Amino acid sequence: MSNNAAETVIGAVVVAAAAGFLAYAANTTGVSGATDSYQLHANFRSVEGISLGTDVRLAGVKVGTVTGLYLNPQTFRAETTFSVDKSIIMPEDSAVVIASEGLLGGNFVELVPGGSEFNLEDGDEFLDTQGAVSLITLLLKFVTGSKE
């Protein structure tokens, strides 16, 4: 009988440790959903290198995460939704750009603040967007001498 009690206690400790690890992982990766943020939208011609969970940065600092990404079948443009920390207030004439971390680095969404007196609110859309620039396309243009 004492063997069953010891096994039960050890099992409970293992389950508690696993729950602790899951809570830590969710908190570290921002998946917990407990962050105080608001949603913004943007449409791009190309979102190459962007996926759900990609960083949204302002001046190189992570301020949000891409939370939605789908193709609009009428416009054939990629529509994105991302969460931004509520402490970051973006002017309504701000731009959103898909930028690269370097020559071989990954892509991220960069917010470029504007100068308007009016600010974007939860659910608003960025009007000024710049999609991903394909490195392969740029190299092909350089090699072939194309000006298009």
- Residues 113/94, Cβ–Cβ less than 8 Å: yes
For 77-123, how does the pLDDT look when each residue is reduced to its tens digit (9 = 90+)?
999 999 999 998 999 999 999 888 876 678 889 999 988 899 888 88
At residue 5, φ and ψ (nearest 5 deg) are: -65, -40
Q: What is the pTM of this model?
A: 0.67
Categorize the per-residue pLDDT at 146 as very low, low, confident or very high, splitting at 50, 70 and 90. Answer: low
3-state SS class at 114: coil
Cα–Cα separations (whole angstroms), residue 77 to 46, 94, 96, 148: 7, 20, 15, 21
Q: Please list the alpha-helical segments (H only) found in the chain.
A: 2-29, 135-144
